[in-house]
Structure 1
Amino acid sequence: MEHEIREAPLNLYNPTAKDAETLLAEFIDRKKLLARILDIVQHNVPDRPQQHVIVVGPRGMGKTTLLCAIRYSVQKDDVLSQEWLPLQFDEEQYGIGDLADFWLEALRHLEIELKATQSKVDQLLNEASDKLAQHAQDVFFELLALSGRRALLLVDNINDLFAAIDDGIALNQLRALWMTDPRMMVIGATPSHFDEVSAVDQAFHDFFRIFYLDRLTQEELEAFLRHLAEMRGDAQVIHAIEHEPQRIAAMRILTGGNPRLVMLGYRVLKEGFDGDVRRDLERLLDECTPFFKHRIESLAKEARRTFDAIARRWDPVTVDDIRVELRKPSNYISAQIKRLIAEGFIEAISGEKKKRYQVSERFYKVYYLMRYSREGRRLRWLVNFMQVFYARRNDRRWARRLDKALSEPLAVNPAAYEQTRLAGISLFDLNKMEEGVALLMRGLLLDPEDRYGRHVLNQFWRDALPVAAEQIAVNNNSTASDNLRQAITETLLTKAAGGEHEAVLDALLALDESAQQPFEVLILALQALNDRSVLQHIAREKRDVVLDVMASIAPEDGFDAKKDGTN
């Protein structure tokens, strides 16, 4: 069995194709939620109304996998399997158009589970009665009674099912049945809230117990990857978890902790490459392109235009931000946005007087920025920053250089300091970076009360930093520039972590806009330390990094990224 799991495909889009052993062995990230739902199943006794459940989560968050895990767990449990017969509907139910279709489909699944030799469905269809729905329901429960068990309906995309059968009467009939009949429990899944459940005047308002699938935290993501790698014997993935933290952190931030995308990332980690976050990102984008293109092409023209206007902007937008571009009145744009929210493409940002909107699926937004927007350049700067920032905890080269610089004697006189300054500036000659970095790091950590030391620092910020930023921008794709960017980013983070927040922020804000871009995350982190509202107006993937930077450079403020951040 262990060999079979190692060789089994990941099945990113079709978890129902996995056998029970493989799926349950890989199912670790939602175990607590699975246990809570199974507890509800267990306590739904036959002599009282049943508690029904809906699970809400964006696409790729593991809804179908969870339904499969519920089904297999019930089937393998000695007690539950005697009481319940799980019937799992397909993820897409294109053939269901009314209540009769629903009961016929439920009957088909029941016949398959009971291995019926003759189909009652064909007989019912031949009758062509105007009471087909009621007849199909009656036959369903007659056949269920012969099994001696109750039905556990597992309905993926239950929002689409409700929309398909809603004729003004059907949903009320289902509610009346499910509220009183103990022979059936329903566990549904949906990518977002929908009117039939959330609107106060609808049949199923306040009917279901609702659970939410949250994105994976960094700890959950690492545990998931490690567990999968150990089961499959993938040493390359375990090595990445332990020695390339920048790749794992970037994966969580850019994918939004979406389990399906994390599985794609697993394949990238398994194939190795060279630990470069940008190459990981490009590979993930290539893997997702067919899926993302299909989704956007499914939208109507005006909804697609509205989505495009929102997706091309990195940070959340208001209706006014896109009204001029779309050349439509605000109420028309608001109607399109409402439709996009209902279909799970867009989400509103809470806590603002004027609502802001953003793409709901984080990596979809990343894909759009990289493929279709000029904002993609800023995203590349974010990836470059993450490459340096998250590698710091395992990369001791800078600590060794700093130790060496601090241990070497340096005379305290103007000439020596001038020499140090010039050596530091020579760092920004791409060919002399290694020669100047240690002295530069030392110059930044000289006694702040020493006027000569202060002179060196001021000279650095005034003369060297603009040169560095310009060369980084010009040479973004060169290996030397990568090393230079790492040196400058490390220097800025070291100085900021030393308590000189204002000095670093003032120096960065003095640069022109293009030169600021490589340091945007650090600028935002320094600004947010003074004003937390900054966090409300920036994209989620930027905000995650900003929060981590804030916790890194201001631990003495008691700042906690998990507590103070919002998602």
Structure 2
Amino acid sequence: MPASSNVILYRYSPATLDRETLQYLLVGRQKLAESLLEEIDQASGSGTPRFFLLVGPRGIGKSHLLTLLYQRMHDDLAERIIPVKLAEEEYSIFRASDFFLRILEEMGIGIADVIALEEDRLVRDVAVDMLKGFASTEGKQIAIFVENLHEIFNQMDKREIQALRSIFQQTNTFSVVASAPSVFPGVSDHDEPFYNFFRIFHLLELKCAEVKELMKRVAQVSGNTAFIENFQDYEPTIEALFHLIGGNPRLVILLYETISRGGIDDAGKIFFEMTDEQTPYYQEVFQRLTGQRRLIFDTVLGAETPLTPKEIAERSRLDPATVNAQLRRLERDGYVISHPMGRRTSYEARERLLGLWRAMRRSPGRSRVFRFIEFLRDWYSPDERVAVLDMVCRELSGVAEGENQMVAIASYIATGKRNEALVAIENVEGPFADLDQLMQFVHLCLTLAGEELLDGNRTNGLRLIDIAYTQAGRLEPGLVKKVTVDFLKWIIGEGEIPAIKSAVDEIIRLRGTEFQRFLKPVADAVEIVETNDTKLYSTRMQPEEREIVAGIVQRITGSEELVPEL
């Protein structure tokens, strides 16, 4: 077990952590790390250099992986490899000569005499010869670790980039492991020197199980035993927010820190704190855009669904041709992604959290996100309906007939006497003085309603839903929503669309607009199954909604036929 470390430092500066801690916190990337390490080792023996580019968005773990590979090569492969790691931000590399001078510096080799040569080409050639000579004398290969390669290429003239590639091609001295947030023109355009030069590895987001494992490991490293002991209490919140933040390791650690500081009483508040911390970064994103591009991008971010160019033009009041041209630039530069569907193409933000951050800065968007978080929290929380029914059923023995109305109703339901249960429910006189008894009554009404709907008795089912929600008016709104989600999870699991649709429609009729918005994921899933139309994932939903809706669709149908690749 690694020694206790500062996880806040880890979020932004994994280089400050020791190798053991980095290895322990490497979740979901172990196989890739071993593969890259093995290939670099083989390259040192065969004299065939390797050139790797790790690609993934900010916080995905590129620095973590590069730092760990560097440390492992330094410790385990020092007999064959000289690992050299440049700084995460290199602001002084504008020429190929600058690049190789920095490598000499990192290796502790003096460069004053080389710089004194003044003529740049001579400086470059001498620096390269010094590195080749040193590697040859040692009988080793030099493995160079370069972060933010796109920034270095942006600083260099194309002729300098060509010179850099020529040196890499003409010598077997250097292997390179680099990183960038996306596949950028410097490596993807046909007319660029490094086109098709790097072998590219895309770092994907962690899966939900891996997110939980990473949080436990961070807690272990931080000495936070309370977090590990109470982890079951945190899981519904973690699973709910996973659909919003995804499996970005930096955001996962931020979520861990936020929960550790403030608990899990309010998942919406947790998410607000997380997005608010990203404000300086996202403000910089907008500052990099000017004029029409900023307006178009903000229009895309402000929509509740992906937008077509025509819709963007109408909302932004710009010329359609201008919108189409700017959208192509925004997509090329990694701000938006398109979803072509026949003659219709819709656009949304590439970075999920950026869209959510923008939504949280506006009142309507904030309400939408909070509502969705509330749904997710209830969806992933334990089903209280079953627990309540079990508790009532345990009371069956030893209670005289008629002594306890709830027990009598539960007894009728348990023994299949639905007509008797319906009569007993209709004869119950309210309001209830005891809120626990009221909760039992609502759960029993909805259980019987579900059984009636599933058996095709729509009239009885809707009548029971009406009774349940009439009584539920005395409960806290959050409790009513939790009861509703528990009920619908059960009905959805039975896979009967008519029953699900009837229940959802009746609940919305009784509870109004707030519940229509709250139950949108269920209503969307029902429509996808009814219409067999998977295009609705891209036309009706934001990225964070698709996965949960797809899960509901799969739960209804029992198959992945209507589940898209997310």
| Shorter-chain TM-score tier | 0.7 to 0.9
For the Cα contact (< 8 Å) 2:5–2:222, is it kept in 1?
A: yes
- Secondary structure at the counterpart of residue 66 of structure 1: helix
Q: Which residues of 2 match residues 84-99 of structure 1 at below 5 A?
A: 84-99=81-96
For the Cα contact (< 8 Å) 1:245–1:394, is it kept in 2?
A: no
Distance across 1 between alignment mates of 2:383 and 2:467: 30
For the Cα contact (< 8 Å) 1:58–1:191, is it kept in 2?
A: yes
Residue of structure 2 equivalent to 1:458: 462
Residue by residue over 1:417-464, the C-alpha shift from the partner in whole angstroms, topping out at 9 and shown as x without a partner, is: 36625869979x99985253133123214456989x643312345787
Verify: 1:58 aligned to 2:60, yes or no.
Answer: no
For the Cα contact (< 8 Å) 1:349–1:355, is it kept in 2?
A: yes
Q: Which residues of 2 match residues 96-135 of structure 1 at below 5 A?
A: 96-111=93-108, 116=109, 119-120=110-111, 122-131=112-121, 132-135=123-126
Aligned-pair distance for 1:142? 3.9
For the Cα contact (< 8 Å) 2:446–2:468, is it kept in 1?
A: no
Distance across 2 between alignment mates of 1:529 and 1:439: 28
Instruction: Pick closer, same or farther for the CA change 1:484–1:35 going to 2, 3 Å.
Output: same
Distance across 2 between alignment mates of 1:46 and 1:30: 25
For the Cα contact (< 8 Å) 2:237–2:267, is it kept in 1?
A: yes
Amino acid in structure 2 at the alignment position of 1:528:
I
TM-score, normalized by length of structure 2?
A: 0.85
Aligned-pair distance for 1:104? 2.6
Q: Which residues of 2 match residues 18-33 of structure 1 at below 5 A?
A: 18-33=17-32
Residue of structure 2 equivalent to 1:141: 132
Verify: 1:491 aligned to 2:487, yes or no.
Answer: yes
Distance across 2 between alignment mates of 1:314 and 1:305: 16
Instruction: Pick closer, same or farther for the CA change 1:515–1:275 going to 2, 3 Å.
Output: closer
For the Cα contact (< 8 Å) 1:237–1:266, is it kept in 2?
A: no
Amino acid in structure 2 at the alignment position of 1:434:
M
Verify: 1:549 aligned to 2:521, yes or no.
Answer: no
Instruction: Pick closer, same or farther for the CA change 1:159–1:413 going to 2, 3 Å.
Output: closer
For the Cα contact (< 8 Å) 2:44–2:140, is it kept in 1?
A: no
Give unpaired runs (5+ residues) of structure 2. Answer: 395-406
Distance across 2 between alignment mates of 1:425 and 1:365: 46
Instruction: Pick closer, same or farther for the CA change 1:50–1:372 going to 2, 3 Å.
Output: same
For the Cα contact (< 8 Å) 2:384–2:486, is it kept in 1?
A: no
Distance across 1 between alignment mates of 2:371 and 2:127: 59
For the Cα contact (< 8 Å) 2:389–2:443, is it kept in 1?
A: no
Residue of structure 1 equivalent to 2:398: none
For the Cα contact (< 8 Å) 1:197–1:204, is it kept in 2?
A: yes
Instruction: Pick closer, same or farther for the CA change 1:399–1:345 going to 2, 3 Å.
Output: farther
For the Cα contact (< 8 Å) 1:425–1:464, is it kept in 2?
A: no
Deviates more, 1:4-13 or 1:96-105: 4-13
Identical pairs, percent: 22
Q: Which residues of 2 match residues 87-486 of structure 1 at below 5 A?
A: 87-111=84-108, 116=109, 119-120=110-111, 122-131=112-121, 132-145=123-136, 147-167=138-158, 169-271=159-261, 273-349=263-339, 353-372=343-362, 374-392=364-382, 397-400=387-390, 403=393, 407-409=410-412, 417=422, 420=425, 433-434=438-439, 436-447=441-452, 454-460=458-464, 480-486=476-482
Give unpaired runs (5+ residues) of structure 1. Answer: none
Instruction: Pick closer, same or farther for the CA change 1:391–1:97 going to 2, 3 Å.
Output: same
Deviates more, 1:327-336 or 1:29-38: 327-336
Residue number among 70, 76, 81 corresponding to 2:78 in the alignment: 81
Amino acid in structure 2 at the alignment position of 1:364:
L
Residue by residue over 1:7-32, the C-alpha shift from the partner in whole angstroms, topping out at 9 and shown as x without a partner, is: 56443122222233332332233111
- Secondary structure at the counterpart of residue 211 of structure 1: strand
Amino acid in structure 1 at the alignment position of 2:190:
V
Residue of structure 2 equivalent to 1:535: 537
Q: How many residue pairs are counted as aligned between the two chains?
A: 542
Instruction: Pick closer, same or farther for the CA change 1:398–1:146 going to 2, 3 Å.
Output: farther
For the Cα contact (< 8 Å) 1:49–1:181, is it kept in 2?
A: no
- Secondary structure at the counterpart of residue 59 of structure 2: coil
For the Cα contact (< 8 Å) 2:267–2:377, is it kept in 1?
A: yes
Amino acid in structure 2 at the alignment position of 1:437:
V
- Secondary structure at the counterpart of residue 78 of structure 2: helix
Instruction: Pick closer, same or farther for the CA change 1:482–1:350 going to 2, 3 Å.
Output: same
Instruction: Pick closer, same or farther for the CA change 1:565–1:182 going to 2, 3 Å.
Output: same
Distance across 2 between alignment mates of 1:50 and 1:350: 40
Aligned-pair distance for 1:553? 4.1
Residue of structure 2 equivalent to 1:503: 499
Distance across 1 between alignment mates of 2:449 and 2:421: 14
Residue of structure 1 equivalent to 2:397: none
- Secondary structure at the counterpart of residue 144 of structure 2: strand
